[in-house]
A and B are shown apart, each in its own frame.
Chain A
């Protein structure tokens, strides 16, 4: 019997059998080591490659850098999407859809922007067998698609604010090492594009959205992030300033940009002639923002919480929050089996009524041990076991995926205890990740301290003079020699500013930049990065 909707389908055989040979009917799958072979501490990049495949989140594809998002992963994107979409609608943002194609002319309208993205654009040059007169670019981001329309739609201050968003796919033809979710040539995202009459309104929205992005990471994905402003070197090509939520991956000692909210100022409105008549009859250029959040976030979640047994998914976003596993031992008579199945169904119904996403795994061709392994690999937050002894005692055994802790709960209390426990798991996962992050950020004031912290695979909070040339210099000086293998190269790549955190430590007067010796302007968070 097939599984219910929302469940990934298992491999029929634990060890792949040659085609043509199936296990004889009735023989149970013993507990075998499904899936994971590498360990997170032993070989992180191999671990990650395996875990995304074994948990059935990703499938590889014939085009390098493109991946298939399987239902188990897509369900997480759906949860993120539903939450964020509702939040921005409350703010008055509306969804729309703009074409995928960009003409060469439109793409080159904003000079800095095209410099930033031109190298990564994929071009459609043919339709069927005929060549196109002019090739069409596939959107790497939609500023240049949308803003010609904004020019037409914005004439007067009454047309402002204009706040649109779209949920789409984009293509960036990069040659850097692709990594599922983290860096791919095609990915899914939302991109919000808004226009205001005043700078103040734009600034306010930039931060409102940034807070929502932080909330997605912290409240939904249980991943701690640092909110900050990008340095001028790192900001979005064409923006006035960029704000970001930065996460950190302790195992690689690298920071990772989690989502960005940009104030474009009037850069694009000047290029695209987005002008409006103000209330006092003068003409002004609109103030614009753009903000984007991608499927990369799922990769960050996996890297943060996964362990050697598989992925670990926070309850808020997991497609299945509780998996119920009845354990009818072979000694049980038919009546007892029926009673167990009935009890499982009752518990399932009660949990569903409580609004939870529940599955009963009653497949009769797998042992309990195999099933535990199966669902642990997929990161389901809570397992509920119902064995013969549990039936006698009128209890169910709850097992947490994140800590492995088990507790016995009376049937009458299950419907109340499970939601409580899921909430605890959600907050415990965030707390644990936050504690780890705190140990990974070192506050230093000297170059030596900086390099030592980087050596320890940490991010560094250091005072600096906020000059682009100094940042470039830091990147050069902090890079080691080129390693032979990819991992060595990554371990010695130069450090850059991840962000200038919004929450700044005190900067005593006379503090010098750790790198240039000039007077420091702020504390920046530095690190190697994805």
Chain B
């Protein structure tokens, strides 16, 4: 998949927010090699089983057969762990928190742009701690960072929760996720964190001497968010006209389009457009003016709507005369989204724009939240479950089924257990499938 500048700019916004959050949390960026000796994979049994079929393997380099085949990283636990084993010696070395921004390869059977691709970009954080509690706390803390990003920047009302045993990361004690609902009702796993326990430290020999001088195995966590999230932003908010981007993520937040700027009026209109553009950019608004004469205003309106630009400001000769302009909001279609008589004076216009950007952001989140809530139904029987899934919605129910029963449900309905939400109703209930007592509610859905 080629990520063109517009899509890549979305990724860059995610990167810059997340990178700052990671740094604040005490994580340092590093870079580990992409090529991993096959023997590394074999060190953690579950891990190799999970990833072996998906590996891209290099066997020739520089015209010669390689002594040992090398895999392209599908994820870097094995290399990073081999280094943790060397770098972690004493309790004073802990916690150790590393991250890398990199590309990974997983030979997927069915691909979909951004969401599931052979190659994708991501960040993968890997941490080592002295105790199991800290490793778990780390996984939870990073989950909260991801959740905050999704909700406040991408306007995606994700549900944070824990994966079932069969869905968790190969080699983890527990996997946590933020699940997003796309406009077609399908689930998208938008970010994942893992409590790896001491599985990898035992496999790789990562030990430290504690304050009392005893040798102990480190406890670890890992966490990742990828370009799949860009797909999530697109699929959460888009409509039939095209993209609708939340202002905080949008590479371009405001486009200015001159209308009827012909003849004598042209100069004045263009001057007004320019003044507005300069003022907006000075406050940090990502704004652009589309002043080319090749395309009609109508064409431009459609073009920028398709690109999901949150606000469009229209300025014509009459606007210049009256000192006003029109602002059209991408999140509200048609006449409802267009407001006339907005003050054109730069200082005032800037305030109006900033206000509306916040409103668009809030409204996209609110709509997505309403949509989500309308599409999650509680189920208390197997047949109800099937019905809800058939309708393209998510089923929420008390769950005490076995791994096999979970697999069977998937084969039958196409829905997977997305997570056990962190927010539980409490008390207890009856498993909708088995009728046995259940202490947790689970969310099921068809997913990307």
Q: Spell out A's residues near B (CB within 8 Å).
A: 1-2, 4-6, 9-13, 19-22, 24-25, 59, 61-63, 66-71, 74-75, 77-78, 94-101, 119-129, 135-136, 138, 149, 158, 164, 168-169, 171, 173-175, 185-186, 188, 365
Contacts of B56 in A (CB 8 A): 124, 126-127, 136
| A96 with B8: CB separation less than 8 A | yes
Who on chain A is nearest to B36 by CB? A63
Contacts of B211 in A (CB 8 A): 25
| B119 with A99: CB separation less than 8 A | yes
Assuming A5-B28, A12-B93, is B83 touching A68 (CB within 8 A)? yes
Assuming A169-B34, A175-B62, is B213 touching A99 (CB within 8 A)? no
Contacts of A2 in B (CB 8 A): 26, 92-96
Contacts of B60 in A (CB 8 A): 122-123, 125, 135
Within 8 A of A (CB), among B50-70: 52-63, 69-70
Who on chain B is nearest to A163 by CB? B5
| B26 with A5: CB separation less than 8 A | yes
B203 at the A interface (CB under 8 A): no
Of B97-105, B135-143, B193-201, the segment with at least 4 beta carbons within 8 Å of chain A is B97-105
| B33 with A61: CB separation less than 8 A | yes
Cα A153 to Cα B60 in complex, Å, equals: 33
| A128 with B35: CB separation less than 8 A | no
Cα A483 to Cα B89 in complex, Å, equals: 42
| A71 with B30: CB separation less than 8 A | yes
Q: Spell out B's residues near A (CB within 8 Å).
A: 1-5, 8-9, 11-12, 23-35, 37, 40, 52-63, 69-70, 72, 79, 82-83, 86-87, 89-90, 92-98, 102-103, 105, 107, 119, 121, 207, 209-211, 213, 215, 294
Using A22-B213, A95-B12 as known contacts, list a sample of 19 further A-B pairs with CB atoms less than 8 Å apart, ordered by residue number in A: A5-B24, A13-B90, A20-B215, A66-B33, A66-B35, A75-B28, A94-B8, A97-B8, A99-B2, A100-B72, A122-B61, A123-B61, A124-B57, A126-B69, A128-B52, A129-B52, A138-B58, A169-B34, A188-B31
Shortest distance between the CB of A273 and any CB in chain B (Å): 18
Cα A75 to Cα B98 in complex, Å, equals: 12
Contacts of B37 in A (CB 8 A): 62-63
Who on chain B is nearest to A122 by CB? B61
Question: Contact check: which of A22, A63, A70, A74 meets B90 at CB < 8 Å?
Answer: A22
| A67 with B59: CB separation less than 8 A | no
Shortest distance between the CB of B371 and any CB in chain A (Å): 30
| B90 with A5: CB separation less than 8 A | no
| B29 with A71: CB separation less than 8 A | yes
Could you list some 16 contacts between A and B, CB below 8 A?
A6-B28, A12-B89, A61-B33, A62-B82, A68-B32, A74-B31, A95-B5, A96-B4, A99-B119, A100-B103, A119-B62, A122-B61, A123-B58, A123-B60, A126-B59, A128-B53
Assuming A62-B37, A127-B57, A128-B54, is B29 touching A95 (CB within 8 A)? no
Contacts of A78 in B (CB 8 A): 29
Who on chain B is nearest to A77 by CB? B31
Cα A24 to Cα B119 in complex, Å, equals: 49
Assuming A9-B87, A99-B2, is B53 touching A122 (CB within 8 A)? no
Cα A365 to Cα B27 in complex, Å, equals: 24
Cα A1 to Cα B211 in complex, Å, equals: 11
Assuming A2-B94, A127-B56, A128-B55, is B35 touching A171 (CB within 8 A)? yes
Question: Contact check: which of B59, B79, B97 meets A125 at CB < 8 Å?
Answer: B59
Contacts of B29 in A (CB 8 A): 71, 74-75, 78
